[in-house]
A = this chain, B = another copy of it.
Amino acid sequence: MPTYKAPVDDIMFLLRDVFHIERYDNLPGFADASPDVLEAILGEAAKYCEDVLTPLNRVGDREGCKRASDGSVKTPTGFKDAFQQYAAGGWMGMSVPAEYGGQGLPETLTIAVNELLCSANMAFAMYPGLTQGAMAAILVHGSPEQKTTFLPKMIEGRWTGTMNLTEPHCGTDLGMLRTKAVKQGDGSYAITGTKIFISAGEHDLSDNIVHLVLARIEGAPAGIKGVSLFIVPKFLVGPDGALGERNGVSCGSLEEKMGIHGNSTCVMNYDGAKGVLIGEENRGLNAMFTMMNEARLGVGVQGLAQSEVAYQNAVIYARERLQGRSISGVKAPDKPADPIIVHPDVRRNLMTMRAFNEAARALVLWTALNADIAARSGDDKQRQAADDYMGLLTPVIKGVLTDQGFANTVAAQQVFGGHGYIAEHGMEQFVRDARIAMIYEGANGIQALDLVGRKLPKDGGRALQAFFKEVQDFLKEQGANEAMKPYAAPLGNALGHLQQATMWFMQNAMAKPDNAGAGAHDYMHLFGLVALGYMWVRIASVAQGKLAAGADGAADPMKARLTTARFFMERMLPETGAHLARIQSGASSLMELPAEAF
C-alpha cells in the first residue's frame, strides 16, 4: 500500500528562505503566521494527512460511493470520521475572516495544506475543497445575511458546498445552459433542471449541502449574459439558521468513472427547488469565476499533489527492488542484484518528477502569496500587480501542473514495472485519480485559450510584461554570479523563446485567430517551463547562498536542490524550442482537412 510523508521541510524552505514570507507581515493575518507558527500548523496537517487520510485512499477507491434507492449517498468507510476530524481541526476556515468563525490566516497556508490533503487522498480532499470554493463565492458575492447564514456552518463542517455548472449538453459553453429559475412571490426562485458531474453533490458527511447553481431566470437574455447564480440548500434554512424541510433537489444517480471513486460525482435533479439569488441577476458567471480561479489553482495543486505522492512511492520502490546490475559496475555486490535506482532510466523518471514537484510547489506558493496580496493589501498598485500575476498564472498552473502531474503518475507507475499495473500497489490509482484534473474546472485546452486569448492581451499585455520583467530582473541580478550561469543562462534562452512566441502571436493571430488557438497548448506549456525554470533559478540562488554560508547542517538538501535544478535546465527546459517551432508553424496544417475527411 502506498505511503506518504508530507514535504513540510520543502514548503518551509520555500516560504521562509525563498519567498521570505515574513516580509508580508503588514498584510492582515500574516503577522499571526510567523514561520514557526506555519511550521507547527503544517506539522499538524502532515500528521492528519499521513495517519488518517493516506490509509483511506485505497479504501475510497475500492469501495467508492453508494447511492441508495432514496437518493442518499454513502461515502466510503472512514470518510465521515475523517471529515469530522478535519472540521474539528479547524482546517476548513483557516483563511476565512474571523468574523465568520474562521482564523483569517493566509490563503497561502490553506493552499499549502491542500497539497498535503490531495496527496494523501484526493477524492476525500474534494469534499472540503468544494466547500472552500463555495465559501469563497459567498464571501465575495453574498449578502451580509447570506454570509452569516452559511459561512459559520460551513466552516464548522456541519454544512458543505458544491458548484453546479455542467449540464448534459453543455460544459465549456455555459451560455447554452437550460436550468430555469422562476421568481416566486417571496423573492426566492424555483429552480428546475439537471446538472451532471456534480462533485460531492450528495453524501453523508454533513447535515446540509449548500449547492451553488447556475440557472437562467425566466425571460433573461440568451447566452452567458442571461445566467445567474443561486444558493440552493439541500435542506431549507430557517431565519434562525435551523434546518427546515427537504428542498426539491436530489441525486438522480452516481457517475461511474475512471477514478476519484471516493468522491460522489452526481447527476443532480432540481425540481422546483427553492433558491436565492447570490450576486446580481444575469451576472452569475462573474460570481462563479471567483470560485473558478480558486478552484483552478486548487486543481493545479491536485496535479502537483498526485505527482508528489507517486514520486515518493516510486523512490521507495526503486531503492528496494533488486533487478539487474548497474551498467557502470556492480553497486550492491552482497545482493543478488542492484536496486533499480542505479539504472539511469529509472533515475530519469525519478528526477523528472522531482524537478517538477519542487518547482511546481514553489510556483503554487508564489502565486498563492500573490493571491493573498491581491485580496489583502492596502496598496492599490501592489494589489493590482498581484491580481494580474494571479490571473496570468492561474491557467498556466491549472493546465501545466495537471498535464505534467498526470504524466508523472504514469512515470512513477512505470518505475514499478508490472507491479505498477496491479491495483494493490496503488500506483495505478494515482494515474486514474490524477487524470480528472486535466479535465475538470475547464479542460486544459480551455486553460490554454484563456491564457492566450484573454490573459495575454488583457490591459495591453500588462500582466505578461510584468512577468517578463520580474524574470528578467532576477536574471540580471544573477548576471554577475558565475556560479549561477548553469541555471540562469538556459532560463534566459527559454524566456527568449517565450518572448518570440508572444511576438509571433501579435504578428499572426490578429488577422487569423486560429493561429492563436493552434499554438495555445504549446504556449501554455512553454510558459509553464519558463515559470518553473524561474522558480528553479530562485531556489538555486538561495541554495548556493546557504551552501556558501555554511548551510546550518542542511548542506545535503541544498546540494540536492542544485543538482535537481541542473537536471531541470538540461533535461526539461530544452522542450521550449520544440514548443516555439510548433507555435510558429501556425494553424494551416491543423485546419486544412474538412471535418468529414477525418
CB contact under 8 A between A578 and B567, given known A257-B421, A336-B176, A587-B344: no
Report yes or no: B344 in contact with A418, Cβ–Cβ below 8 A. Answer: no
In the complex, the chain B residue whose C-beta lies closest to that of A423 is B256
Q: Which residues of B contact A591 (CB under 8 A)?
A: 344, 347
Q: Which residues of B contact A513 (CB under 8 A)?
A: 327-328
Report yes or no: A445 in contact with B346, Cβ–Cβ below 8 A. Answer: yes
Name the contact of A344 in the complex, choosing from B258, B337, B520 (C-beta under 8 A).
Answer: B520
Q: Which residues of B contact A514 (CB under 8 A)?
A: 327-328, 344
List A200-247 residues whose CB lies under 8 Å from chain B.
none
Name the contact of A171 in the complex, choosing from B315, B418, B521, B574 (C-beta under 8 A).
Answer: B418
Report yes or no: B421 in contact with A166, Cβ–Cβ below 8 A. Answer: no
Name the contact of A597 in the complex, choosing from B170, B349, B436, B556 (C-beta under 8 A).
Answer: B556
User: A9: CB under 8 A from chain B?
Assistant: no
Q: Which residues of B contact A438 (CB under 8 A)?
A: 414
Name the contact of A570 in the complex, choosing from B345, B512, B556, B589 (C-beta under 8 A).
Answer: B589
In the complex, the chain B residue whose C-beta lies closest to that of A353 is B598
List A338-387 residues whose CB lies under 8 Å from chain B.
339, 341-351, 354
| CA gap between A585 and B566 in the complex, in Å | 10
Q: Which residues of B contact A171 (CB under 8 A)?
A: 323, 417-418
| CA gap between A346 and B598 in the complex, in Å | 12
User: A477: CB under 8 A from chain B?
Assistant: no
User: A10: CB under 8 A from chain B?
Assistant: no
Report yes or no: A570 in contact with B595, Cβ–Cβ below 8 A. Answer: no
User: A98: CB under 8 A from chain B?
Assistant: no
Smallest beta-carbon distance A540→chain B, Å: 13
Q: Which residues of B contact A592 (CB under 8 A)?
A: 563
| CA gap between A166 and B344 in the complex, in Å | 23
Name the contact of A258 in the complex, choosing from B431, B577, B597 (C-beta under 8 A).
Answer: B431
In the complex, the chain B residue whose C-beta lies closest to that of A424 is B256
| CA gap between A577 and B581 in the complex, in Å | 10
User: A428: CB under 8 A from chain B?
Assistant: yes
Copies in the complex: 2
User: A172: CB under 8 A from chain B?
Assistant: yes
Report yes or no: B598 in contact with A258, Cβ–Cβ below 8 A. Answer: no
User: A255: CB under 8 A from chain B?
Assistant: yes
User: A443: CB under 8 A from chain B?
Assistant: yes
Name the contact of A571 in the complex, choosing from B318, B423, B585 (C-beta under 8 A).
Answer: B585
User: A453: CB under 8 A from chain B?
Assistant: yes
User: A448: CB under 8 A from chain B?
Assistant: yes
Interface centre among A418, A453, A512 (most CB of B within 10 A): A418
Interface flags for A452-465 (1: CB within 8 Å of B; 0: not) read 01000000000000
Q: Which residues of B contact A348 (CB under 8 A)?
A: 518, 521, 590
Q: Which residues of B contact A347 (CB under 8 A)?
A: 518, 590-591
CB contact under 8 A between A431 and B422, given known A345-B517, A417-B443, A520-B345: no
Name the contact of A578 in the complex, choosing from B318, B575, B593, B595 (C-beta under 8 A).
Answer: B575
Smallest beta-carbon distance A491→chain B, Å: 15
User: A141: CB under 8 A from chain B?
Assistant: no
Q: Which residues of B contact A432 (CB under 8 A)?
A: 258, 428, 432
Q: Which residues of B contact A341 (CB under 8 A)?
A: 595, 598
Name the contact of A595 in the complex, choosing from B339, B431, B556 (C-beta under 8 A).
Answer: B339
CB contact under 8 A between A582 and B597, given known A591-B344, A592-B563: no
Report yes or no: A598 in contact with B328, Cβ–Cβ below 8 A. Answer: no
Name the contact of A345 in the complex, choosing from B170, B336, B449 (C-beta under 8 A).
Answer: B449
List A386-438 residues whose CB lies under 8 Å from chain B.
406, 410, 413-414, 417-418, 420-424, 428, 431-432, 435-436, 438
11 further A-B contacts with Cβ under 8 Å, apart from A345-B448, A571-B589, are A172-B324, A173-B322, A176-B323, A341-B598, A344-B590, A347-B518, A348-B521, A421-B436, A563-B593, A567-B590, A570-B582
A-B contact pairs, 29 of them (CB 8 A): A171-B323, A171-B418, A173-B323, A176-B323, A255-B422, A258-B422, A258-B431, A259-B421, A318-B595, A327-B514, A327-B517, A339-B595, A341-B595, A343-B517, A345-B445, A345-B517, A346-B445, A347-B518, A351-B593, A414-B438, A414-B445, A418-B440, A420-B439, A428-B435, A567-B589, A570-B582, A570-B589, A574-B577, A577-B581
Closest 3 CB pairs of A and B: A344-B517, A570-B585, A574-B581
